[in-house]
Structure 1
Amino acid sequence: MKNRTNVRWLTQLSLLVAILLVMNYTPLLGYVQFGPISASLLTVPVAIGAMTMGPLAGAILGGVFGATSFIQMVEGKSQMGTQLFSVNPFGAFVVSFVARVLMGLCAALIFNALRKAMPKKEKLCCVIGAICTPVLNTVFFMGFLVLFFYNCDYVQNVAQTLDATNVFMFIVYLVGVQAVIEWLICGVVASAVTVPVRKYLKLN
């Protein structure tokens, strides 16, 4: 029984990793571009994995997401990412990779806490968990971005272009539209998939 469970877990994880990679290398599926940054839809499979498979899967899927993002920085496929990598490669790694690992891990932990607090409200827990994933992505990404890069010339130029006079306004102006899109899409799609999957796997 334990071996069967492990095989099923690995199979589910492999499927979600494959979906992540397909979305990443199919721009119309994985990203919606808004100026210097893009709204990522890769939070959807991360949210599904975090809520159906637990913290380890959430961290791994977040790591896959982060690895593809960092590779795009290195390859020069992301306008902002390329600039950040040229300024501070380590900071760019934290912003792109570490932030996404924490996103997947924390999304799963939050969902588990919600399930314990509201054991009879499965659908609501899935909706909240699905929305939390892109919200955490935004929080960790922008938090590390400000921590490592806010004072660099490129980010200051972006802030001036956006007419952002402080850190808070910079964050709001930079991620406002794309963040809302990420939250809505992930909240709808991830919860719609997670509820029947958890029911099928008898996790509720």
Structure 2
Amino acid sequence: MQQRSQIRRLTRRSLLLVLIIVQDLVPFIGNLPLGPLSITTMPITVAVIAALYGPIEGTLAGTVWGILTFIRAFVYPSSALAPLIFTNPLISIVPRMLVGLFAGWVFWLVQKSGRTGLAASLGGLVASLTNTILVLGGIYLFANTPQVAAGYHVSQNNLGVALAAIVGTNGIAEAVLATVVVPLLVIPLRKVIQRLAK
């Protein structure tokens, strides 16, 4: 029985990690272009995994996402800025790892009150904000160079303003999307998982 449970857990983990890999590599799945914005949807997936299976699984999913971002910056950069930014693991890996951890913690704490929908919404919100704030904050702290500033079409002195503008546009749109979508996925999936576990 214990061996069967371990096999089931490893199979589930493998499938979830394959989902992260596919979403990251296939265009228009991990990033949705909406007019002038490009919405990152990966925090939604990581938040859903963290809500369904806990902070440890969420952290693992986020770490895989971060490692993919790190590797792609060297071999298949998503933009001209990626090699200048995401080759630093403090920007590419650590924030994504914390996305799953924080989302899982928030969901677990709020869900104890019995409010699954609210817990999932707040988990999605925290996941999105964690990614936005830590990645852009990491860029400002660790990649504040003339080349990076030029990639954002500003001088180095104005890089902070440009990053703040991204928080106010992309960041808010991603946070709203995650807050709405995560509970729409978590609530029915939890019911299915609970039914299958019986």
Q: What TM-score range do you get, normalising by the shorter chain?
A: 0.7 to 0.9
Q: Which amino acid aligns with 1:112?
A: W
Give the deviation of 1:197 after TM superposition.
1.8
Q: Whole-Å Cα distance in 2 between the matches of residues 162 and 197 of structure 1?
A: 47
Closer, same or farther: CA 196–95 of 1 in aligned 2, 3 Å: same
RMSD: 2.8
Give the deviation of 1:137 after TM superposition.
0.8
Does structure 1 residue 153 correspond to structure 2 residue 146?
yes
- Alignment match, 1:123: 117
Give the deviation of 1:38 after TM superposition.
4.8
Using the aligned pairs only, state the percent identity.
Answer: 26
Give the deviation of 1:53 after TM superposition.
0.7
Deviations 1:141-184 (A, max 9, x none): 1222222122x1123335663897473x3332133322233223
- Alignment match, 1:177: 169
Deviations 1:41-70 (A, max 9, x none): 111221111011111111110011111111
Give the secondary-structure state (helix, strand or coil) at the position aligned to 1:120.
Answer: coil
Closer, same or farther: CA 160–101 of 1 in aligned 2, 3 Å: same
Give the deviation of 1:135 after TM superposition.
1.1
Closer, same or farther: CA 158–13 of 1 in aligned 2, 3 Å: same
Give the secondary-structure state (helix, strand or coil) at the position aligned to 1:202.
Answer: helix
Partners of 2:121 and 2:178 within 8 A in 1: no
Q: Which amino acid aligns with 1:198?
A: R
- Alignment match, 2:16: 16
- Alignment match, 1:29: 29
Q: Whole-Å Cα distance in 2 between the matches of residues 67 and 111 of structure 1?
A: 24
Partners of 1:107 and 1:133 within 8 A in 2: yes
Q: Which runs of 5+ in 2 are unaligned?
A: none
The 5 A counterparts of 1:45-56 are 45-56=45-56
TM-score under structure 2 length normalisation: 0.83
Give the secondary-structure state (helix, strand or coil) at the position aligned to 1:178.
Answer: helix
Task: Point out the more displaced range, 177-186 or 3-12.
Answer: 3-12
- Alignment match, 1:71: 71
TM-score under structure 1 length normalisation: 0.81
Q: Which amino acid aligns with 1:50?
A: A
Does structure 1 residue 102 correspond to structure 2 residue 98?
yes
Closer, same or farther: CA 109–60 of 1 in aligned 2, 3 Å: same
